[in-house]
Amino acid sequence: MASRNGIGRLGEKAAERIFLAIAFSALTSLLLIAVFTLKEGVPFMLRTGVRDFLFSADWRPQSGRFGILAMIISSIWITLGAMVVGVPLGVGGAIFLNEYLPRHFVRIVKPCIELLAGIPSVVYGFIGMMVLAPFIRTHFGGPGLSALAASLILGVMILPTVISISSDAISAVPQSYREGALALGATRWQSVYMVVVKAARPGIIASIILAMGRAIGETMAVIMVAGNAVRIPRGPLDSVRTMTANIAMEMAYATGSHRQALFATGVVLFIFIMVLNWAATATIRRSAAKR
């Protein structure tokens, strides 16, 4: 019996060390990526000038011009457009799933929605090129491949993130909140809007922030539908190029300062993502502290 207990303890220690090694390997990989990106990009930014790099829209690598303002603005445009499309649909879908749809339908519908996250982004981009871009060109004008097309595609792509996390936040609201609101004379919609959604607000905000990080970091679908013109957009029908698209398109042949400029663009993008993730983490912690 003692020998079996000893073997069991050894197995537990071995499993603990294996999982610890796996966790540290993931952390080490992330740290190496961050260090390598900063090592390549930050010296270039300091040498060129942070102001010229971030606040100039003149991107001509062959002439030594490396201003990424147009790509920063384009990334923000497309991300905000995706939020306008995806957030109302996502939050509304989460409310409908939890508060109005019968449970046996939820068990079917929710996995189907989450399955959207597993569809490769190139499929979304292909649908955008073949269906959405021609539709925009025919009915609204412009080249079709535009900020509007990219926003619509990304709005659909972030739906699983918004719906899944918002749905979990809404389902975590105690049933007594709903019953108390109804007992005070509120209608079902009033109890949902004034009580349930407000109680789940930190989780819903976290889902929106994480979806924003997903949208701003998307590459392949954006390359295929945004048009990839390096200019500051004046409207949603203009072709644009985001920071991620610029890195993916030019890294294959970039050398010297051009290559370092792309790494510096990666540093800016990395800062964007880190800020969004920090905001989501802080929101979730604040929600947990209140409960």
Q: How far apart are CA 188 and CA 254, in angstroms?
A: 59
pLDDT digits (tens, 9 = 90+) for 221-264: 999 999 998 888 898 999 999 999 999 999 888 888 899 999 99
Q: What is the DSSP track for 35-97?
A: HHHHHHHHHHHHHH-HHHHHS---EEGGGTEE--HHHHHHHHHHHHHHHHHHHHHHHHHHHHH
Predicted structure pTM score = 0.84
pLDDT for 136 equals 94
pLDDT digits (tens, 9 = 90+) for 188-206: 888 988 888 888 888 888 8
Q: Which amino acid is at 119?
A: I
Q: How far apart are CA 173 and CA 82, in angstroms?
A: 28
Tell me how many degrees the CA angle 76-79-81 measures, rounded to the nearest 5. Answer: 105
Phi, psi at 272, each rounded to 5°: -55, -50
Distance of CA 15 to the CA centre of its chain: 33
54-290 placed in CATH 1.20.1260.10? no
Distance of CA 231 to the CA centre of its chain: 23
pLDDT for 31 equals 85
Q: Which amino acid is at 91?
A: V
Q: Which amino acid is at 127?
A: I
Token pair, residue 182, equals 């109804």
pLDDT for 6 equals 57
- List the chain pLDDT tens, one digit each, 291 residues: 545 555 657 677 777 788 888 878 878 887 888 888 888 888 898 888 888 899 988 898 888 889 999 999 999 999 999 999 999 999 999 999 888 888 888 888 888 888 888 888 999 999 999 999 999 999 998 888 999 999 999 999 999 999 988 998 898 888 888 888 888 888 888 898 888 888 888 888 888 888 988 888 888 899 999 999 888 889 899 999 999 999 999 988 888 889 999 999 999 988 888 887 787 777 767 765 665
Q: Name the residue ranges covered by the structural domains of the chain.
A: 2-48, 54-290
Tell me how many degrees the CA angle 93-87-127 measures, rounded to the nearest 5. Answer: 85
Q: Which amino acid is at 237?
A: L
